[in-house]
């Protein structure tokens, strides 16, 4: 019997969501029966983390010893880091070592170290669980922070790949000094200490090489001190093995995530309106560094407690039933609508949104 067969015309949104959930969960059960190794969730999570960290360290070692080009190391480590993002997301939902605090928190710490561009994962847990409660609304601070709902333009382009720049632009838009200081305080709180060091080093890297480039064009090389040059050797290496990969991963993930979630006119609690599936072929260069997030994350909104690797395996069945029930696929009109679900809903003026944020 084909469990995906049902008439969406006879079902309301809640019933369609429940049907999708039932079909996807049943497919997950089938996969676990077919491949018993999938039942060992804790071991798989720990094993994937070990694989990702070994891959990042191995790529860095090959680059440092001259056996791998810088660009290959950067791309590989961006991919490995994307695995740790998926693991962090699962950990936030307590999918690994749920009742064992030491290994659970050890995994949380390690995935943070692999992605120092991100906020404290223990703080992110509260933001992400709130995201599921208020997805698509102004109160969804997690998605708003990565530009969901922003009109497309130069500001959004800058904000989408740089977490600190996003906070800085929001601070500039804030109407009052109290709001500005509140944004600064929250930014320092959630990004300390790793992300502040990560993005600080990234700005130093960009500034140093931009200054050298301008000086070269002007025919007047900069006479840097020995201390500066020694520091830049370390930062240049870090830019290849950890900073650059996470900048690339951040841009790819935030571009996909902020555009697959709808914003502003989503009916509260209606999972059918919260996300779409983005799996067009031309998005693969982005999907490669966020572990196919655009194709799989919509499934997560319906079935929250399935780990990321199960979502990848259930995707063919999940996509079939989601399409039948009316979930949107590759709705690129979202770019022109500032991620609104419907075109006719007016986009709030930028100043109003900034004040509310």
Classify residue 316: in a domain, yes or no: yes
Quick: pLDDT tens for 4-58: 556 777 899 999 999 999 999 999 999 999 999 999 999 999 999 999 999 999 9
CA dihedral over 121, 296, 20, 264, signed as positive or negative: positive
Dist CA 69 CA 86 (whole Å): 27
Picking from 93, 4, 50, 125, the residue whose alpha carbon sits closest to that of residue 306 is 93
Classify residue 291: in a domain, yes or no: yes
Residues with Cβ within 8 Å of residue 227, at least 6 apart in sequence: none
The answer to whether 25 and 46 have CB atoms below 8 angstroms apart is no
Per-residue pLDDT of the chain (357 residues; tens, 9 = 90+): 455 556 777 899 999 999 999 999 999 999 999 999 999 999 999 999 999 999 999 999 999 999 999 999 999 999 999 999 999 999 999 999 999 999 999 999 999 999 999 999 999 999 999 999 999 999 999 999 999 999 999 999 999 999 999 999 999 999 999 999 999 999 999 999 999 999 999 999 999 999 999 999 999 999 999 999 999 999 999 999 999 999 999 999 999 999 999 999 999 999 999 999 999 999 999 999 999 999 999 999 999 999 999 999 999 999 999 999 999 999 999 999 999 999 754 444 444 444 444
Picking from 309, 307, 322, 308, the residue whose alpha carbon sits closest to that of residue 277 is 322
Classify residue 87: in a domain, yes or no: yes
In this prediction, residue 343 carries a pLDDT of: 72
Classify residue 2: in a domain, yes or no: no
CA angle 273, 247, 89 (to 5 degrees): 45
Classify residue 1: in a domain, yes or no: no
Task: Identify each DSSP E strand in the chain by its residue range.
Answer: none
- Tell me the residue range of the domain where 67 lies: 8-356
Kindly calculate the radius of gyration of the chain based on its CA atoms and give it in whole angstroms.
Answer: 22
Classify residue 130: in a domain, yes or no: yes
DSSP code, position 36 = G
In this prediction, residue 5 carries a pLDDT of: 59
Classify residue 3: in a domain, yes or no: no
Classify residue 313: in a domain, yes or no: yes
Quick: pLDDT tens for 119-130: 999 999 999 999
Dist CA 94 CA 304 (whole Å): 11
In this prediction, residue 3 carries a pLDDT of: 57
Task: Determine which helix (DSSP H) or strand (DSSP E) holds 2, and give its type and residue range.
Answer: none
Dist CA 279 CA 303 (whole Å): 19
Give the count of domains, the chain: 1
């Amino acid at each position: 019997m084909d469990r995906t067969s049902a008439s969406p015309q006879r079902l309301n949104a809640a019933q369609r969501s429940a049907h999708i959930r039932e079909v996807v969960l049943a497919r997950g059960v089938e996969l676990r029966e077919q491949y018993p190794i999938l039942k060992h969730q804790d071991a798989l999570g720990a094993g994937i983390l070990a694989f990702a960290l070994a891959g990042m360290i191995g790529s860095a070692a090959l680059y440092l010893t001259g056996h791998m080009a810088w660009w290959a190391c950067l791309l590989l480590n961006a991919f490995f880091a994307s695995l740790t993002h998926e693991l962090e997301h699962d950990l936030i939902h307590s999918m690994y070592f749920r009742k064992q605090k030491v290994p659970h928190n050890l995994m949380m710490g390690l995935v943070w170290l692999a992605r120092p561009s991100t906020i404290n994962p223990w703080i992110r847990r509260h933001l992400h669980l709130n995201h599921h409660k208020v997805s698509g609304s102004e109160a969804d601070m997690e998605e708003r922070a990565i530009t969901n709902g922003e009109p497309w333009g130069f500001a959004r382009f800058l904000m989408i790949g740089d977490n600190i720049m996003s906070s800085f632009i929001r601070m500039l838009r804030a109407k009052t000094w109290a709001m500005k200081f509140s944004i600064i305080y929250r930014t320092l709180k959630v990004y300390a200490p790793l992300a502040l060091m990560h993005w600080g080093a990234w700005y130093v890297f960009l500034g140093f090489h931009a200054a050298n480039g301008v000086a070269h064009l002007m025919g007047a090389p900069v006479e840097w001190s020995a201390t500066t040059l020694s520091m830049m050797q370390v930062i240049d290496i870090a830019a290849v093995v950890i900073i650059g990969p996470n900048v690339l991963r951040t841009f790819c993930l935030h571009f996909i995530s902020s555009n697959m979630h709808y914003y502003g006119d989503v009916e509260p609690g209606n999972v059918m309106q919260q996300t779409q599936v983005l799996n067009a072929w031309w998005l693969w260069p982005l999907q490669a560094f966020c572990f196919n997030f655009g194709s799989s994350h919509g499934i997560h909104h319906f079935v929250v407690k399935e780990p990321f690797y199960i979502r990848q395996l259930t995707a063919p069945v999940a996509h079939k039933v989601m399409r039948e029930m009316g979930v949107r696929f590759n709705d690129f009109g979202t770019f022109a609508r500032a991620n609104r679900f419907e075109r006719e809903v007016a986009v709030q003026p930028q100043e109003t949104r900034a004040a509310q944020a």
